[in-house]
Chains A and B, each alone.
Chain A
Amino acid sequence: MDLVFGSVVLGILSGGIYALMAVGLTLSFGVLEVINIAQGMLVLVGAYFSFALEHYWHIDPLVGLLVTIPALFLIGYGIEWAFLRPLRQDRVALSILVTYAVALVMEGLIGLWFGDNFVAIHAWYVDAAVDVFGLYIPYIYILGFALAIVLLGAVYLLLYRTKFGAALRATVQNRDAAVLIGIDVQRISTLTFAIATGLTAAGGMLFGATNAFNANSMLDLISRLLMIIILGGMGSMGGALIASLIMLVSVDVVSVVWTPNWSTFAFFVITVVVMVLRPQGLFGAPPARKV
């Protein structure tokens, strides 16, 4: 019983970290109408960036975020400007191909730079654990969850309390109408993608501190993130958060009460079952019929 309780707690905490990785994906889908296959790789780029700062220059990963978040913001800006903006028709299909190609290039470069050994980010709060009601939880999970809440809160404020956020939400609702009322959709798109990628830097650092990773982790990661955003309802930020929590709690519980071998299976089974019962996801709007 204690084990199950422990796994629920750990699931919730790591769910927050996954939410941070998934929000970028769901935001860029909502605004740009693209499926960003490179998101998994961007998480790893963030993780490797933090790893390199810590490993070579001994910069604390949390402090390092001050460097990695702006750096990934710029990378995201560049990707949108160079590869996504030129896509005119068939955006969904072409974005899958383009972002996959981008991911391949990044995977190749990272493999060249770091090799394919598994690495992990270290810091005192990663290696030490705290006793919470008899559960030993590494500080990083608690810090990570707190950081996720803070950053997601910031995104929420950005979306619902600023003019930029209003323009962004208008773009999600109807791209063409947004253009008509004078919103610079192109600028909104680029900024959204850049912000989404910047957030991913934080998600990547936390992922790298809680998992061992190499450049090949990309496909496994992107498949999980895609399941999360489709479960939550594509384009829904709150949905991505709730879905992350549901997914990670069930994965952790399955691995404790049954076996870790089948834990990821819970991910896919939940996705498929929800898709059968509610094709638009938990918080997605039902697909509108085109007139």
Chain B
Amino acid sequence: MKPNNMLAAGVISLALAILLPLTVLGSSSAGVIAFVVLVLAALWAVYTIEKRRALLTSLIGVIAAIAYPLVFNSTEATTIMFFALLYVAIASSWNIIGGFTGYISLGHAAFFGLGAYTIALVADRLGLSGGYGLFAVALLGGVAAGLFAIPMGYIALRLRTIHSFVIVTIAFLFMYQLLAFNLQDATNGSSGLAVPQPDWSGAFFNIPFYFAALLLAVLTVGLAAWIRNSRFGLGLMAIRDDEDKAAGVGVDTWKHKFTAYVISAVPIGIAGAIYAYFSSYIYPQTVFDPMIDLTIVLSAFLGGMGTLLGPILGSLVLQPAQQLLTLYTGAAGWDLVLFGVLFLVVILLMPSGIVPTVVERMRRARVQEAVRKADALSQDAVPDAAAEGGQG
């Protein structure tokens, strides 16, 4: 590990330690503790990733996440973590195609929007009212996203080069946004659509949404973990490393990429539907928003693309940081600038993301330790040998 990367790791840990508690400091100190536990769990997860204690670590993470709203139930605090968890699900799901195969899609916000419009339209046409039942309708958002992903994946993945794939996925996103603006009979155009609201009141309002997001996040991470450890996942990562060689050793690359693309659309569709339900009103520009894609990619990248923990850690850091920046500097207009600068610094100092950098650093440290021990041993041995030589 180069010294500047070490410095970066230090700066980021420090920023984490300061930023995260700050986000909740305004409300209560119990939340700070919960946050710290969560972050420690995440960091410990990074530490133990090589020691195969993933199950225990994730259990601790989930328990901390469940405890969080119970300890700490102000609306602001649960809203921040709701978004963080929603993005854990979204970024982990995106990671299945973007991280595992290296096909960086900048159009997955299309699935987010499709899910959002699905729940709004279904609720409207069937005259549903708000309540726990609408969470079941949110699943339909995932189904819709998956169905739409089939032709989209078919077209986008015909392009063998990754940069063409990137650009076509952007084209898809803007196409959907325009459709949402222009198909006024169905989508109500730029006036947007309302989603029926539940009659939960006060601070409790966020709780069902929080747990829905948590459940989605856990299931999505589980799905990603299962794929990564399967034969299918091995094929995906072979494609990332060298697509031609992967094809050469018998990986059906097209089938792998296509399947990964369609699978990754589903949880994002569900997340879009949950978001629509939570925010009660959707507009074409807020759900088919290119900013969503960049947030996904930045979260996955920040943590480490293609790793399981990367998108989780990235989202848990990025979402509170983003909301904090908007909260404290948004009115003055500095939030975009600070956000951009923060990212430039991270990308330039840690070009492979937090998780790979930390893992690599620990591996190096262990190797160096071993080398030092070996050196010490051989140095002990050298004088003896010299002494023996002298005698002989």
Contacts and interface: CB of A to CB of B under 8 A. Distances in A.
Interface in B97-129: 102, 104, 106
B166 A35 contact: yes
Contact of B337 (A94, A108, A230): A108
Interface string B148-174: 000000010011111110111011101
Contacts of A104: 336-337, 339-340, 343
Contacts of B227: none
A226 B179 CA distance: 20
Interface stretch (A165-173, A181-189, A268-276): A268-276
Give the top 7 A-B pairs by smallest Cβ distance, nearest first. Answer: A108-B336, A104-B340, A108-B337, A105-B340, A101-B343, A268-B175, A230-B167
B347 A94 contact: yes
- Which has the most chain A C-beta neighbours within 10 Å: B160, B179, B335, B340? B340
Given A230-B164, A279-B160, A290-B242, A102 B170 contact: no
Interface of A is mostly: helix
Contact of B167 (A90, A105, A227, A269): A227
A275 B181 CA distance: 24
A87 B349 CA distance: 10
- Which has the most chain A C-beta neighbours within 10 Å: B155, B174, B182, B297? B174
A261 B298 contact: no
Nearest to A273: B155
Interface of A: 29, 35, 83, 86-90, 92-94, 96-98, 100-105, 107-109, 111-112, 219, 223, 226-227, 230, 234, 261-262, 264-265, 268-269, 271-272, 275-276, 279-281, 287, 289-290
A40 to B, nearest CB: 11
Contacts of B252: none
Interface of B is mostly: helix
Interface of B: 102, 104, 106, 155, 158-164, 166-168, 170-172, 174-175, 178-179, 181-182, 242, 244, 290, 294, 297-298, 301, 305, 333-341, 343-344, 347-348, 351
A271 B337 CA distance: 32
A108 to B, nearest CB: 3
Contact of B182 (A88, A89, A265, A275): A265
Contact of B333 (A112, A226, A261, A289): A112
Contacts of B181: 261
29 contacts: A35-B166, A35-B167, A89-B351, A93-B162, A93-B305, A97-B347, A101-B341, A101-B344, A102-B340, A104-B340, A104-B343, A105-B336, A105-B344, A108-B333, A108-B337, A111-B333, A219-B290, A226-B170, A226-B171, A264-B178, A271-B168, A271-B171, A272-B168, A272-B171, A275-B164, A276-B158, A279-B158, A279-B161, A290-B242
B339 A279 contact: no
Contacts of B162: 92-93
B242 A265 contact: no
A87 B344 CA distance: 12
A90 B348 CA distance: 13
Contacts of B297: 96-97
Nearest to A113: B333
A108 B168 contact: no
A97 B160 CA distance: 21
B163 A35 contact: yes
Contact of A86 (B158, B175, B343, B348): B348
Contacts of A271: 168, 171
B351 A275 contact: no
A129 B338 CA distance: 44
Given A226-B170, A262-B182, 19 more contacts: A35-B167, A88-B351, A94-B351, A97-B343, A101-B341, A101-B343, A104-B339, A107-B336, A108-B337, A111-B333, A111-B336, A223-B174, A223-B290, A261-B181, A268-B174, A268-B178, A272-B155, A276-B155, A290-B242
